[in-house]
Structure 1
Amino acid sequence: MPRSQEAEWWANAVYAAIQEIPPGKVTSYGHIALLLGEPQRPRQVGVCLKSLPASESGMEFNSSTVPWQRVINSKGMISHRGPGSAERQAEALREEGVEVTSDSMGEMYVDFSRYGWFPKVLPSEQAEEDDEM
């Protein structure tokens, strides 16, 4: 099913924002929504990531160009989106040097105080503001 123009704009904005998260850092779905001026839409950020095209798609934004693994839930937990998805995300984060811990229930967490990325504005927008001054 094709996306509406608004949905396409939103998905592209989400993907572009996620591309600004530095390697070795993580942020939350809610923080991405906040940075995009839509703090009430963290679930829509998750929906965009769930529908992120595969790298083979040839699309500009895909699983190779968007560091999807750097977005976790507001509790610092890696969300399960399907069989093996949390493990795959944890492994991708570990490859970037992020420590992922597991609790007694097998839930995986990242320490936001150590690896969190929560700027007030996107770096690309900060650069635009600096250029205007």
Structure 2
Amino acid sequence: MTEPIDLTDNQARRTALYVVLGQVPEGKVVSYGQLAELAGLGRAARWVGRMLSQLPDGTRLPWHRVVAAGGRISLPLGTISGDEQRARLRAEGITISNNRIDMKCHGWRPMSPCG
């Protein structure tokens, strides 16, 4: 069993977030809230979004695989980040319809035997 994360230690929180984010496989997406929960951060979806918005240019973390609840892409269409996210997701074979991703098809379920 792993040690609980000290939720007052911002560096530990970021590290936990980045470790889990790095595990999201190509062709799969995770919601901000699910990512927070998997990282042991509780209900910190907004904090996750803020941390992802502060990633340095050129990061190798798959930030584009994180979407809002229900599979909605939260980055606006027509923005550099929003267009890049959509392009990266499509390049991984993820279908986007009405600004949403089918979470049943493309959602990451790391505890599931079919992942």
TMscore range, shorter length: 0.7 to 0.9
Unaligned 5+ segments in structure 1 are 56-62, 103-107, 122-133
Range with bigger deviation, 73-82 or 111-120: 73-82
Cα root mean square deviation, aligned: 2.0
CA separation in 2, counterparts of 1:40 and 1:84?
A: 28
TM-score by length of structure 1 reads 0.70
Gapped runs of 5+ residues in structure 2?
1-7
2:106 is the alignment partner of 1:115: yes
From 10, 17, 20, the counterpart of 2:20: 17
Residue among 92, 96, 100 paired with 1:100: 96
Larger radius of gyration: 1
Q: Please report the TM-score for the alignment, with normalisation by the length of structure 2.
A: 0.80
Over the matched positions of the two proteins, sequence identity in percent amounts to 35
> Within 2, Cα distance between the matches of 1:42 and 1:32?
8
Q: Deviations over 1:72-112 (max 9, x none)?
A: 0112111126933222211110111111112xxxxx11100
* Aligned residue identity for 1:42: A
Q: How does 1:1-133 map to 2 (within 5 A)?
A: 6-55=9-58, 63=59, 65-80=60-75, 83-102=79-98, 108-120=99-111
Which string of whole-angstrom CA distances, capped at 9 and with x for unpartnered residues, describes residues 12-66 of structure 1? 22111111011000011111111122221111111110001112xxxxxxx2x20
| Runs of 4+, deviation exceeding 6 Å | none
Q: Number of aligned residue pairs: give it.
A: 104
Amino acid at match of 1:101: S
Q: Contact between 1:31 and 1:39, CA under 8 Å: does it hold in 2?
A: no
SS of the residue 2:71 aligns to? coil
